[in-house]
């Protein structure tokens, strides 16, 4: 009787017992999801932000698309459509760095005498104690061990003038902190040097070609007593063009030699000049030749059989002569970097920069079709702000008769030019990320 006295209660109890585990399971599952989702959500968000901090909008259009993709990923994760700044490592300010420098003029044999400012008595050392801080992210200082791992078994060439060689010497000084270097030059000519780092089978070389095209000195004096040169604007200099298939990375640069008086030849015919002061010869200005030589140089890589490397344009680095031109008493005596609001890129500096970049963008577009990678090593903005980083009169002994007594073109070592190799390492790391992404895509397709 008791068993059957209240069948509704008995059924209700059974239903309750059956439903309780389901409710408990649902609650447990909900709590687990709430606990697990952030663990997946925030690492992915952090990865997205890290991806954005590694991208830089000036390097290429492909890096711009990477930044855009990152923003889309971030918005899809967070559900927010707030515009975020992409990281352009080439726009920023110089900030104090008490840890610098990372080598000394005494510890590095690679420093050229003319850039060994401390040796020749520069009294201040503050110019060495700054680092470049991009506006919206951080740029790590150069890590030689990391760099060497990225370039293991590879090779790097610097093509251009003595400012390009200035960067190579900085790179060697930075690498000597963790390894040793063997001179493997094929000639005794100081303008063409090659060094090997056996620990990582890495080779670095410099090719002197201040005009990038074939050039001949027509008059050792010329209108300004700095020489008059014939430039063959459609004939890239074979001193470097015949060697480029040997290299995985090539840094191309040129600049200050174009201020000298020059005669322009195209197709074997005289077409004009820059400040030649010759009768019946049109002054086309230095910007004409500057554009043409970069166009010719970039075409070499886009048409070079067997070249599968990466070409980097190191952009124009402004000089800082004040109170006169270089041969009329001009000097660079400032002892601190400019702040952003102190100066701006304009005039000749802007024109030189824009000429380079316009030709670079066109070559980059063509290179994408031909499988040649072009990257921008944009040093112009950073170096515009460093009037304090030049040797000035501390690149030689006092009272020595030198062509440029106050050097406001090259850069002291150690000094701000070391930052160019911070930029270079960042680009190589970015290239590694692109390569991994491409390999992953290829394996997915297979």
Q: What is the DSSP string of 347-361?
A: HHHHHHHHHHHHHHH
Residue 406: which region, alpha, beta or left (left: phi > 0; alpha: psi -120 to 50)?
A: beta
Predicted confidence (pLDDT) at residue 107 exceeds the cutoff of 60: yes
CA angle 381, 387, 388 (to 5 degrees): 125
Q: What is the mean pLDDT of residues 86-101?
A: 95
**DSSP H helices in 269-329:** 286-303
Q: Which two tokens stand for residue 412?
A: 């002291």
Residue 115 DSSP label: G
Is 396 labeled as catalytic in the residue annotation?
no
User: If DSSP codes are grouped into helix, strand and coil, which group holds residue 11?
Assistant: helix
**Mean pLDDT rounded to a whole number for the chain:** 84
Q: What is the mean pLDDT of residues 309-319?
A: 98
Which region among 104-113, 343-352, 367-376, 399-408 has the lowest average model confidence (pLDDT)? 399-408
Closest CA to 408 of 423, 422, 394: 394
Is 378 labeled as catalytic in the residue annotation?
no
Report the distance separating Cα 51 and Cα 45, nearest Å: 10
CA dihedral 153, 157, 162, 165 (to 10 degrees): -10
Catalytic position from the list 162, 170, 253, 392: 162
Confidence band of 28 (pLDDT split at 50, 70, 90)? low
Asked whether the beta carbons of 175 and 169 are under 8 A apart, the reply is no
User: If DSSP codes are grouped into helix, strand and coil, which group holds residue 23?
Assistant: helix
Confidence band of 434 (pLDDT split at 50, 70, 90)? low
Catalytic position from the list 407, 418, 422, 426: 407
Catalytic position from the list 256, 274, 320, 410: 410
Report the distance separating Cα 289 and Cα 268, nearest Å: 15
Predicted confidence (pLDDT) at residue 3 exceeds the cutoff of 70: no
Asked whether the beta carbons of 212 and 293 are under 8 A apart, the reply is yes
Query: Which comes out higher in pLDDT, residue 421 or 80?
Result: 421
Q: What is the mean pLDDT of residues 36-49?
A: 36
Is 407 labeled as catalytic in the residue annotation?
yes
Asked whether the beta carbons of 414 and 47 are under 8 A apart, the reply is no
């Amino acid at each position: 009787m008791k068993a059957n006295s209240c069948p509704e209660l008995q059924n209700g109890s059974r239903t309750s017992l059956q439903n309780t585990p389901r409710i408990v399971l649902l609650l447990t599952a909900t709590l687990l999801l709430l606990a697990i989702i952030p663990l997946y959500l925030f690492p992915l968000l952090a990865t997205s932000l890290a991806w954005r901090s590694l991208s830089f909008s000036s390097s290429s259009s492909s890096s711009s698309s990477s930044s855009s993709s990152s923003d889309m990923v971030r918005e899809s994760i967070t559900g927010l459509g707030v515009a975020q700044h992409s990281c352009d490592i080439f726009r920023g300010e110089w900030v104090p760095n008490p840890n610098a420098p990372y080598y000394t003029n005494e510890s590095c044999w690679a420093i050229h005498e003319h850039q060994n400012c401390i040796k020749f008595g520069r009294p201040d050392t503050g110019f060495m104690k700054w680092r470049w801080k991009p506006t919206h992210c951080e740029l790590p200082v150069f890590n030689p061990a990391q760099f060497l791992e990225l370039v293991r078994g590879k090779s790097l060439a610097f093509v251009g003038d003595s400012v390009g060689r200035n960067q190579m010497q900085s790179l060697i000084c930075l690498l000597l902190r963790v390894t040793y270097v063997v001179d493997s030059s094929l000639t005794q000519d100081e303008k063409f040097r090659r060094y090997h780092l056996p620990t990582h089978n890495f080779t670095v070389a410099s090719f002197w070609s201040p005009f990038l095209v074939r050039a001949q000195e027509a008059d050792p004096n010329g209108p300004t007593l700095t020489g008059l040169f014939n430039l063959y604007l459609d004939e890239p200099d074979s001193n470097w063009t015949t060697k480029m298939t040997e290299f995985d990375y090539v840094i191309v640069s040129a600049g200050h030699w174009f201020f000298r008086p020059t005669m322009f030849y195209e197709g074997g015919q005289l077409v004009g000049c820059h400040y030649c002061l010759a009768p019946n010869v049109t002054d086309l200005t230095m910007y004409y030749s500057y554009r043409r030589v970069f166009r010719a140089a970039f075409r070499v890589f886009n048409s070079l059989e067997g070249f599968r490397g990466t070409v980097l344009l190191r952009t124009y680095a402004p000089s800082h002569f004040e109170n006169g031109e270089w041969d009329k008493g001009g000097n660079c005596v400032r002892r601190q970097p400019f702040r952003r609001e102190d100066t701006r890129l304009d005039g000749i500096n802007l024109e030189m920069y824009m000429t380079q970049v316009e030709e670079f963008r066109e070559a980059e577009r063509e290179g994408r079709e031909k499988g040649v990678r072009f990257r921008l090593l944009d040093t112009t903005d950073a170096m515009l702000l460093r009037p304090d980083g030049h040797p000035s009169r501390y690149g030689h002994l006092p009272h020595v008769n030198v062509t440029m007594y106050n050097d406001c073109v090259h850069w002291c070592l150690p000094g701000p030019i070391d930052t160019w190799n911070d930029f270079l390492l960042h680009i190589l790391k970015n290239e590694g990320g692109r390569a991994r992404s491409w390999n992953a895509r290829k394996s997915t397709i297979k």
